[in-house]
Structure 1
Amino acid sequence: MTISQTSQPLPPKYLQEDDLNEECKKFLSILPKEKGWIESYIYNYQGFWTAPRVIQGVIACQQQFQAQNSDIILVTTPKSGTTWLKSLLFSLVNRMKHPIFKQNHPLLVQNPHDLVPFLERRPYVDGQVPNGPFWNHVLDYWKECIKKPHKVHFLMYEEIKKQPKIQLKRLAEFLECPFSIEEENCELVDEILRMWSFENLSNLEVNINGKLSTGPENKLFFRKGEVEDWKNYFTIEMSEKLNHVIEQTFQGSGLKFLYT
């Protein structure tokens, strides 16, 4: 009898531990680490848990990257409306260069994680997942938004879904490219929202059948585009755990998640 063992699929390239330089390997040896649920291990660097290759990239960025005043940095967690917001941003800043937008190309973000609920596992609640704790990131950006509202614009998916036109106009003002009276009169705001709606984006041929060069299908970037869909997956116990973490982290900050 021959017994074969099924090998585990390799994690995405950006989570693999090959090609690390010796300096990074030495640095990782002194960092706290935990078993990863995709990669072999995740390490705690400056208060957050992440993969070795990410740490190597972050250190290089911290040492070499020089931000320009014209840079726009979109920071989100996967599956939180990132593709939608990136599309809206593209339209806002490029509407003078390309008055007639074409929908021939996908607008995608980083490789998606398999975001099945991990709340039943203690590491998620404790933040011991890639780039966790998520709540600390949110709180830090919230504080920066309060201190520097001209530099940091804080958005929630629920807010954009509820008042898309208002939020798009606020975003344009933040980017210092507000809509002119002429643009509003010709309903450009509505046209941008229609063009980059969930229905339009998810039904583009390239997002139905296309793939990234690294393998994942483009359709994985789209779920349902609905608010509060989490209620269809969370148990009461999971919801209570999540609410407890949020309340503890955000206490006294003035920040409240709209779904809690």
Structure 2
Amino acid sequence: MAQTQDQSESNPPLESSVATVCEGWSTPLTLHNNYWLRSHTVSKFMLVRDNFKPRRDDIILATQPKCGTTWLKALAFTITGRGRLSFSDHPLRTDNSHNLVPFIGVQDTGGDLEHLETLPSPRLLSTHLPLSLLPPTISTVGCKVVYLCREPKDAFVSRWHFENKIITGGAPPISLDDAFGMFCQGRSPFGPFWDHYLEYWKESLARPHEVMFLRYEEMVSNPLKVVRELACFLGAPFTQEEETSGVAQQIERFCSFDSLRNLDINKTGGTDSAGGKISLQASALFRKGKVGDWVNHMTKDMGETMDRLVDHKFKGSGLEF
């Protein structure tokens, strides 16, 4: 089933490839400024760098796909909206967090950027784009950026499962081997994942008060700690009264992976993926959410290949997995 030789040797590195289109995932990818984007989204995302206008009080949630985006959006939305939103009729009960926290640049060309301009401040927004494809003013205007990454092997397995859920037109499923080869070459949506991680990691080191770097594994192991840290970073720390009344614990429980997955809206509702081109059930956004689930899908050789790749790509950065 698995490839046993080192992918970095069996496949040419991204930098040496002259191809600008990649087939194999649920939709074709196009190489744009060293990142692979879904081909039908490239023209939309090209507008973002020059036309999106970040504001000083914006909060931007940034992730590689399948790294806990839905969960992070729910947490940030609930933390910043507490006091004016009750848990009994909370918007997350009737709408998916992807609709409540809009993506930057994924709707009809230019349309959503114009819509974002009409939103009142402070805006809570999200993106899968690497930092280098966002406006340079992101780094100077003073807005907050929260970046969430995930251990690459688990992120890959989640990506593979998700891609097979959104394949349309009766196409055959993507094999694990094929997906693994493309992922290790950096040829995956918004990949290479290592460059994506490193751009935000380095920015968080340079501007720790404006860029928060989170790990999915931290959210799983100590979610209450992350809730409190996120609230502080967003400028909305819990008051002593809130701590006494258990507000942080309520948010942590309400926004837990299992709680979100079991909401009726996320069992039966729908959402858009891949820039509005693909509609899917919201339930497709929730699989297991488990740390270390890769061992149930990848062979030992595949795991070791990925680990060698990660060690090489992140060497000297201070970012470790």
For the superposition of Structure 1 and Structure 2, which TM-score range results when normalised by the shorter chain? 0.7 to 0.9
Q: Distance in 2 between matches of 1:210 and 1:153?
A: 31
Q: CA deviation at 1:123?
A: 2.5
Q: CA deviation at 1:239?
A: 0.6
CA RMSD, Structure 1 to Structure 2 (Å): 2.3
1:227 to 247, 268, 291: 291
Say if 1:34 and 1:42, in contact at 8 Å, map to a contact too.
Answer: yes
Q: Does 1:54 align with 2:103?
A: no
Q: CA deviation at 1:138?
A: 0.3
Q: After the TM superposition, which residues 1-260 of structure 1 pair with which residues of structure 2 at under 5 Å, given as runs? A: 32-38=19-25, 41-100=28-87, 102-103=89-90, 104-109=93-98, 113-114=162-163, 117=176, 121-212=180-271, 214-257=278-321
Q: Distance in 2 between matches of 1:215 and 1:41?
A: 17
- What whole-Å deviation, never above 9, does each CA across 1:111-160 have from its counterpart, x for those lacking one? 98416745765332111222110111001110000001111111111101
Change (3 A) 1:93 1:233: same
Change (3 A) 1:161 1:119: farther
Q: Distance in 2 between matches of 1:218 and 1:122?
A: 28
Bigger mean CA offset, 92-101 vs 241-250: 92-101
- Corresponding position of 1:6: none
Structure with greater contact order relative to length (CA < 8 Å, sep ≥ 6) = 2
Q: Distance in 1 between matches of 2:39 and 2:218?
A: 35
Change (3 A) 1:56 1:169: same
Structure 1 portions without partners, runs of 5+: 1-30
Aligned residue type for 2:309: V
Bigger mean CA offset, 176-185 vs 233-242: 233-242
Task: Pick the structure with greater CA Rg.
Answer: 1
- Corresponding position of 1:11: none
Q: CA deviation at 1:54?
A: 2.3
Bigger mean CA offset, 84-93 vs 33-42: 33-42
Structure 2 portions without partners, runs of 5+: 1-17, 107-158, 165-173, 273-277
Say if 1:36 and 1:129, in contact at 8 Å, map to a contact too.
Answer: no
When you count strand as a share of all residues, which structure comes out higher? 2
Say if 1:49 and 1:131, in contact at 8 Å, map to a contact too.
Answer: yes
Change (3 A) 1:43 1:193: same
Aligned residue type for 1:49: W
- The count of residues paired between Structure 1 and Structure 2 equals 227
TM-score, normalised to structure 1, is 0.80
Say if 1:93 and 1:177, in contact at 8 Å, map to a contact too.
Answer: yes
Change (3 A) 1:199 1:123: closer
- Corresponding position of 1:17: none
Say if 1:43 and 1:49, in contact at 8 Å, map to a contact too.
Answer: yes
Change (3 A) 1:209 1:155: same
Q: CA deviation at 1:226?
A: 1.4
Tell me, what secondary structure is at the counterpart of 1:114?
helix
Q: CA deviation at 1:100?
A: 4.2
Q: Distance in 1 between matches of 2:206 and 2:196?
A: 16
Q: CA deviation at 1:36?
A: 1.6
Moved over 6 A (4+): none
Bigger mean CA offset, 236-245 vs 38-47: 38-47
